[in-house]
Structure 1
């Protein structure tokens, strides 16, 4: 194959492979390696042709399946931030990745299948993100047990209850692991 260059110590190889467009890849893991044949559509002859594909391109394409899915899921409900500070943009991008990658929503879906939870009760991506946001906002805040509305009619004298320190009750999503039994 003519479209490759290696450095003097043969540590890094750079390959240019002509697919529909030119693809340039660099690797210190594998180079041309074992080539295989792939079918591509040729616009000129209007038919499929087989062309040799380097091992580096094959490995790259195999690894891109998960990346493409993650990019798609991140783009659905991206957190936009108007800031010139790259650090803030990176933090929110990392949060987006953490929410949709196999570390969270996809793992949540797999866990629901394992636990035989009906598909109607499984949260979609938008509602999952909302639940995570609510849990992060309420983290460390006690859930209030104040009653709302008008006081109940009944006795004319108020009941004197002993004053106790507020009990901190959390939703299961934000409850410390030591309290979950």
Structure 2
């Protein structure tokens, strides 16, 4: 499983870098056509919007995979390790329920309803463009299942926490 995870991590990071580079190029082109040519490019604005959505949702998947998502664990760190395990699993299950219902079920339903709806500016349908939601939902669920498995394993040692160095903060 670690081989699959490492491959997925590298692939998603590379995809994010490529999508972000495309986003920068699209925005630069949009600004150039608007300010220099005085003829704004409509398709580049639409493409930049969808590229931003894709890079954001894939980036969220990466952050959850790396446990770099926003958490307020200063209270959890003070609990005994068995209770930290319970709290972690409950938190993961809550996010998993959200990702399953809203991102996967809702995203598939949205894509299905808009699959035939053409986009006037891009060569893709609205349904194809909205596949970012169920795809990122599936990625998030994959990472959450791995986190739950780790929390339930014997290797779970609790949260170490981040402790800021006061001297470094004032330097």
Alignment TM class, shorter chain as reference: under 0.3
Higher relative contact order structure (alpha carbons within 8 Å, sequence separation ≥ 6): 2
Greater strand share, 1 or 2? 1
Q: Which has the larger radius of gyration?
A: 1
For normalisation by structure 1, the TM-score amounts to 0.24
Greater helix share, 1 or 2? 2
